[in-house]
Amino acid sequence: MTFSRDKLGLLLGFAGVVLFGGTLPVTRLTVAWIDPLFLTAARAAIAGCTGLALLIALRRPLPPRALWRNILLAGSCTVVAFPALMALAMVSVPAAHGGVVLGILPLATAAAATVVAHERPSGGFWLASIAGAAIVVVFVLRQNDTLALATGDLYLLGTVVAGGFGYALSGQLSRSMPGWEAISWQVVLFLPLTIAASLVLWPASFADVPAQAWAGFAYVSFVSMFLAFFVFNAAMAIAGVARVGQLMLLQPFVIVALALPINGEAVELATLGYAAAVVATVIVGQRMRVTRG
């Protein structure tokens, strides 16, 4: 029974990774036409309205007072920091490059899980995650002209930190409520802020925004900001934050695969090689023990 539930959790986690994987290329496409900070605020506001409508329609009661602190902390990461830093990074960094950098997310999620979810990954698990992160760092330095991080890479590293804590906190909340409800309360809690920010940052004109940018706007608002969390939060509640979070190491393949059709980015064999090396650490890490608190 436990084995089958773990398999279900990992399957849902992979589906969430695929949905999240479209976020980076689509954001890269959209910020070419829409201001990244406005995009961050507007997508969260739309998700907040959607979440509010769903909570009202299903007559969900307010969460217990003890959970509001974690909802606020999780929302600070998932609603504000993560999408804002990602959008700023995509102004100057190719989507395929960013996708490999986000391979560090499982390490950040596992680290955050030791703090917020009281999970205790084994030494082998940590070694596998650190190996994946090291591969990503080498990739980033190889892509730059000098042995230094570009501004876009710094934004991406901030995205990784925010994402790690956001996923871990959301996974913890999903032990007390359904995953869809956890993300719904997060976007609803920040709704007054995101609506106000959207109005302040409202562009002077949308006349030049093409249809594909609007499609990207819709994707990050309804899928990246909302639907994908339903799936991924449920996966973490079933199979554990650290173990499901490590599936994010598979995300580079998804992003690299989408960067060509969405962004017109040529895919280098070296990029695929680094992505393959990162995926190898997933296979190893999934065999390692993770004790849940």
* 18-56 per-residue burial string, b: 16 or more CB within 10 A, e: under 16: ebbbbbbbbbbbbbebbebbbbbbbbbbbbbbbbeeebe
- What pLDDT is attached to residue 275? 78
Helix, coil or strand: residue 289: coil
pLDDT digits (tens, 9 = 90+) for 103-155: 778 778 877 888 886 777 788 878 887 888 888 778 877 776 555 567 888 89
Span of 18-22, 233-237, 258-262 with lowest mean pLDDT: 233-237
Q: Is 214 left (phi over 0), alpha (psi -120 to 50) or beta?
A: alpha
Query: Does the pLDDT value for residue 173 go beyond 50?
Result: yes
Helix, coil or strand: residue 290: strand
- What pLDDT is attached to residue 289? 65
Q: Count up the domains in the chain and report the number.
A: 1
pLDDT digits (tens, 9 = 90+) for 19-73: 989 999 999 999 999 999 999 999 999 999 999 999 999 999 999 999 999 999 9
Q: Do residues 171 and 145 make contact, with C-beta atoms less than 8 angstroms apart?
A: no
- What pLDDT is attached to residue 145? 59
User: How does residue 1 score in pLDDT terms, banded at 50, 70 and 90?
Assistant: very low
- What pLDDT is attached to residue 290? 62
pLDDT digits (tens, 9 = 90+) for 88-107: 999 988 898 888 888 778 77
Task: Calculate the CA 128 to chain-centre distance.
Answer: 20
Provide the 10 A C-beta neighbour count for residue 221. Answer: 20
**CA separation for the pair 47, 198 (Å, rounded):** 13
Give the residue ranges of DSSP H helices in 144-190: 151-173, 179-189
Q: Do residues 143 and 268 make contact, with C-beta atoms less than 8 angstroms apart?
A: no
DSSP string over 19-31: HHHTHHHHHHHHT
Give the residues across from 290 on adjacent strands.
Answer: 121
Where in the sequence is the domain holding 24, given as residue range(s)?
2-291
Compute CA distances 266 → 171, 222, 258, 261, 269, whole Å. Answer: 35, 28, 11, 9, 10
Span of 45-49, 75-79, 205-209, 276-280 with lowest mean pLDDT: 276-280
Residues of the chain above pLDDT 90, percent: 40
